[in-house]
Structure 1
């Protein structure tokens, strides 16, 4: 690819990204959203976070896509502490301690 092709792609992606963000902030930023939209938006983090984390736990790139006991145990510890305590910080800490501890112990 030539330099011109690369710059055209970069500029087109930049404009596309700007328009996507502007469509929510610029066009709808000063309007009140309907109640049903606000209710659905509450579930966005709950849907996105597992979608980001699940591939890292089930098919980690560090192991060429093979599941690993340390990552599975860390995910389980995170979920269990989160469910029991309802504290995000404690859940993250439990998962991190479990992951790093098992990675250290298992080599």
Structure 2
């Protein structure tokens, strides 16, 4: 049963994406729409990450020093802004998160 469910979801997803990609060379979008589409990935990433950082238990906002995810995110943002290096940002953010989590005993 699960196989048919996954197969059906795959076919629907492929059909939707193939239709759009197949017609993409015939559709000319205005430059303002092209510019607006550039903001979709950061908006989606923000929508995924911010609730995970600020609401780690899923119920209440934890905007304090005991939230190791928030401290790690702040460190990652600072390094990303300062060095503009993706690997360094990930390493520093994760090290800060794990070190802070260990230090506060969570």
Which of the residues 50, 72, 75 maps onto 2:73? 75
Could you list the structure 1 runs, at least 4 aligned residues long, displaced by more than 3 angstroms after superposition: 6-12, 30-33, 63-68
Structure 2, unaligned runs of 5 or more: none
Report whether the alignment pairs 1:59 with 2:59: no
Secondary structure at 2:23 match in 1: coil
1:42–1:20 CA distance, 2 compared to 1 (3 A): same
Matches within 5 A, 1:1-107: 3=1, 9-28=5-24, 30-31=25-26, 33-34=28-29, 35-60=31-56, 63=57, 65=59, 67=62, 68-107=66-105
How far does residue 65 in structure 1 lie from its aligned partner after superposition? 4.4
Secondary structure at 2:33 match in 1: helix
Bigger relative contact order (CA 8 A; separation at least 6): 2
Distance in 2 (CA, whole Å) between partners of 1:19 and 1:96 is 38
Distance in 2 (CA, whole Å) between partners of 1:75 and 1:42 is 23
More helix by share: 1
Q: If the length of structure 1 is used for normalisation, what is the TM-score?
A: 0.71
CA-to-aligned-CA distance 1:59-105 (integer Å, 9 cap, x gap): 22xx4645352111011111122222233322222211101111222
Structure 1, unaligned runs of 5 or more: none
1:11–1:89 CA distance, 2 compared to 1 (3 A): closer
